[in-house]
Amino acid sequence: MTTFKALPAFALGLVIAAFAGMAASAAASEKVRIVALGDSLTAGYGLAPGESFVDRLQARLGEEGIAAEVIDAGVSGDTASGGLSRLEWSVPEDADAVIVELGANDALRGVDPEVTRRALTQIVEKLQARGQAVLLAGMLAPPNLGPQYEAEFNAIYPDLAETTGALLYPFFLDGVATEASLNQPDGIHPTAEGVEVIVDGILPKVKELIERARKGETADG
């Protein structure tokens, strides 16, 4: 019987490389579970089945051959504090990664930015303590709340990403906000076409999130 020790060095190198390649391939094909912890923007308010952010993101990842399951944990009307209060039962501990899309309702209601910041900080820290990779989907305050509120609120997401090392997609509604043709009559929630724009924009960051999850990384460095 031939053993690894009896193989020439070159052949042994090929065997080791083959095993390494098999291991890498198995890791890449292992399905990553991603939870979208959010509000009506992830829950698919006003959209038909199959048109929500979660559904379309799942489909796009599948089209690109990426083994991932995207789970909807969106609750319409939820604030960052609301997301924090239900974190333990909304996000399973065996999930690999989480997209945190919260804060839009805080801004619409004029919630003190410090309250939103504290809630989001606790959410991210709790998820990272579990070993879950996090992607922050940022939000921007409406300008009618004034420049001070706008500045304080808009700084939350980049600040939190910097301090925790979480991934950041700066504005979840990038390319959709204020575009009437991409929003439902309320001017707040995206149409099916608007969701496609959102998925197109955030997809590269979701791929980074999946890569982190597969490597067991929760933050930069």
> Domain extents for the chain?
30-215
Lowest mean pLDDT among 18-32, 66-80, 106-120: 18-32
Instruction: For residue 139, give both structure tokens.
Output: 């939000």
pLDDT digits (tens, 9 = 90+) for 78-92: 999 999 999 999 999
- On the CB side of 113, CA atoms within 13 Å amount to 19
132 C-beta neighbours (distance < 10 Å), count:
23
pLDDT digits (tens, 9 = 90+) for 167-177: 999 999 999 99
CA distance 101 to 106: 12
Closest residue by Cα to residue 156 from 139, 172, 176, 169: 139
CA distance 167 to 160: 10
CA distance 206 to 221: 18
CA distance 210 to 96: 8
**Predicted confidence band of residue 44 (pLDDT cuts 50, 70, 90):** very high
Please report the sign of the dihedral spanned by the C-alpha atoms of residue 140, residue 141, residue 146, residue 148.
Answer: negative
Task: Please give the positions annotated as active site.
Answer: 40, 186, 189
- The architecture of the domain spanning 30-215 is 3-Layer(aba) Sandwich (3.40)
CA distance 165 to 221: 8
